[in-house]
Amino acid sequence: MDFYKQVFENNKQWMSKEIAADGEYFKRMAEGQTPEILYIGCSDSRVQPENFMGARPGELFVYRNVANMVPNNDISSLSVIQYAVEHLKVKRIVVCGHYGCGGVQASVSHRNFGETNIWIRNIQDTVRLHKDELMAIADPEQRHRRLVELNVREQCLNVLKMSFVQRGVFTDGTLSVHGWVYDLETGSVHDLEINIDSMAKDLETYRFLAKEAVL
């Protein structure tokens, strides 16, 4: 049996297991969701946040794309973040990259990826902004790892540019933004300890000072 067909058999077994453990499980799941964390990660099939975070259904609101990006003009990521913040009332937004990211590697390969070039150009902007630091790293693998980390930081900054996020972080104090990196080789996740205060200068241009400011 190929994997596609196996999926439906797996689903039946999973349903039976969950019902045996908790007869009200699916009824409770259908009633709604109250996740505490919005997780923004890479689409890479090897990175499964529910697994490495030990999260149960309903605990994470998950958004994934190539290289865990939050481009300034991307209505998809903006809509997810706004829904999570204003309707689900999440307390934390986590941007999580991973070492060995194909999107990050593609951004510095100088190869032509067709229309995908438009997407990875956002990572190339990060390379341009941090070129001196990156070029000072002689080892290619360590340079890649640092670019992964810097990309996470830039995406956290893009999240913080949004007025409704700024209200939650700076005015109401109900929201925090975090940057993580997942290590495929070890299975460990690292908190980059993104210092929001250190981003203050970068955020000056994007700050909405009035509490009632909107996008």
Q: Which strand ranges, in their side-by-side order, compose the sheet holding 176-182?
A: 60-65, 37-42, 92-98, 176-182, 189-191
DSSP letters for 100-167: T-HHHHHHTS----TTHHHHHHHHHHHHHHTHHHHHT--SHHHHHHHHHHHHHHHHHHHHHTSHHHHI
- Sequence spans of domains, the chain: 1-32, 35-206
- Integer Rg of the chain from CA: 19
Of the candidates 2, 87, 92, 101, the residue annotated as catalytic is 101
What kind and span of H or E run contains 13?
helix 3-21
Annotation: CATH topology of 35-206: Beta-carbonic Anhydrase; Chain A (3.40.1050)
In the residue annotation, 46 being an active-site residue is answered as yes
Lowest mean per-residue pLDDT among 20-29, 102-111, 112-121, 197-206: 197-206
pLDDT tens-place string over residues 46-78: 999 999 999 999 999 999 999 999 999 999 999
In the residue annotation, 156 being an active-site residue is answered as no
Q: Is it the case that residue 181 has pLDDT exceeding 50?
A: yes
**pTM score:** 0.92
What kind and span of H or E run contains 85?
helix 75-86
pLDDT of amino acid 209 = 54
Of the candidates 2, 22, 28, 46, the residue annotated as catalytic is 46
